[in-house]
Amino acid sequence: MNRVPKYRMYIDETGTASMKCSTESNRYLSLTGVILDRNYASTTVASDLSTFKQRYFEYDPDNPVILHRAEIHSCKGAFCGLKDQEVRDSFNRDLHVLLTDWDYTVITAIIDKQAHKEQYGSWANEPYGYCMEVLTEKYVLWLKNHDGTGDVQAESRGANEDLALKKAYSTWYDSGTSYASTDLYHQHLTSGQLKLQPKIMNVPGLQIADLVAQPSFRYGLWTRTQATIPDYLSKTVGVLHDSKYNRRWDGTITGYGLKWLPK
């Protein structure tokens, strides 16, 4: 009998997935997973998002606005109304309240592709799959600690990439990983199939992942290189640091809510 997952981890990426790393702009790839109780996501979060969107955009149930941080920041497309500073300030305040109040857990894996190539050479793992493996492993350990079951949903990236990722996911499920055995995967993941959805779908969890992925990457970069965190991301970084990152019992985030690769 198929088990119904209690939790779902929604994944979004920041950076480029190719092994090219000739400049600082393409040196890193970051994957962020947002863990939500599925019932909570489909009720509380979905309702809050709908109310929030109707406050700032024309409502069309057949074509709802999908929140994308990049478009929000650039005031493009549906977000052109945010060019009005008063509207933008109100929008940011309300969104900050939601990101603060919602109950979710964040795990981010960041790979330094240059260091990865230098360390492993021709044996270097494909960056996206490597980050996804570590993220899934951390999620399974989180499910174990919460005595829960769950599945994983990521953003669709294209036919070939999706097929490769689904195969890799099934391999981890069947064989386990360095810190999570096959039995642990089978006990806590309800399916060996990765779920994929295009970004245009109105999935609350994927929209939260989109909103926090860039701030989480910039926070991770700051911990490693002291790179400045842009002002427009600083409040969300504060929310993640204070209450959303997965962490050890003593509050440690590194290695739990934030993992740098290569190991």
Please determine, for residue 20, whether its predicted confidence score (pLDDT) is greater than 90. Answer: no
Does residue 2 lie within any of the structural domains? Answer: no
Does residue 105 lie within any of the structural domains? Answer: yes
Please determine, for residue 64, whether its predicted confidence score (pLDDT) is greater than 70. Answer: yes
Please determine, for residue 231, whether its predicted confidence score (pLDDT) is greater than 60. Answer: yes
- Lowest average pLDDT, out of 54-68, 131-145, 152-166, 193-207, goes to 152-166
In the chain, pLDDT over 70 holds for what percent of residues? 98
Give the pTM: 0.94
pLDDT (0 to 100) of residue 221: 96
* Mean of pLDDT values over 218-245: 96
N-to-C CA span, the chain: 38
Domain carrying residue 51: 7-261
The number of residues making up the chain comes to 263
Q: Which residue has the tokens 């842009």?
A: 230
155 vs 252: which has the higher pLDDT: 252
* Mean of pLDDT values over 37-51: 97
Does residue 152 lie within any of the structural domains? Answer: yes
pLDDT confidence tier of residue 254, bands split at 50, 70 and 90: very high
* Mean of pLDDT values over 91-106: 98
Does residue 1 lie within any of the structural domains? Answer: no
Residues 6+ apart with CB under 8 A from 202: 64, 66
Does residue 78 lie within any of the structural domains? Answer: yes
Give how far Cα 116 sits from Cα of 21, 121, 218, 229, Å: 10, 8, 19, 24
- Structural contact between residues 28 and 221, judged by C-beta atoms closer than 8 angstroms: yes
pLDDT (0 to 100) of residue 22: 64
Q: Which of 53-62, 123-132, 199-208, 214-223 has the highest mean pLDDT?
A: 214-223
pLDDT (0 to 100) of residue 124: 64
Q: Mind listing the pLDDT tens digit for each residue in 116-170?
A: 888 887 656 788 888 999 999 999 999 999 999 999 999 888 888 888 888 889 9
DSSP string for 218-236:
HHHHHHHH-PPPPHHHHHH
Q: Which of 61-65, 159-163, 164-168, 254-258 has the highest mean pLDDT?
A: 254-258
pLDDT (0 to 100) of residue 199: 79
pLDDT (0 to 100) of residue 208: 98
pLDDT (0 to 100) of residue 123: 57
pLDDT (0 to 100) of residue 97: 98
When divided into structural domains, the chain yields a total of: 1
- Short-list 117, 134, 143, CA closest to 36: 143
Does residue 169 lie within any of the structural domains? Answer: yes
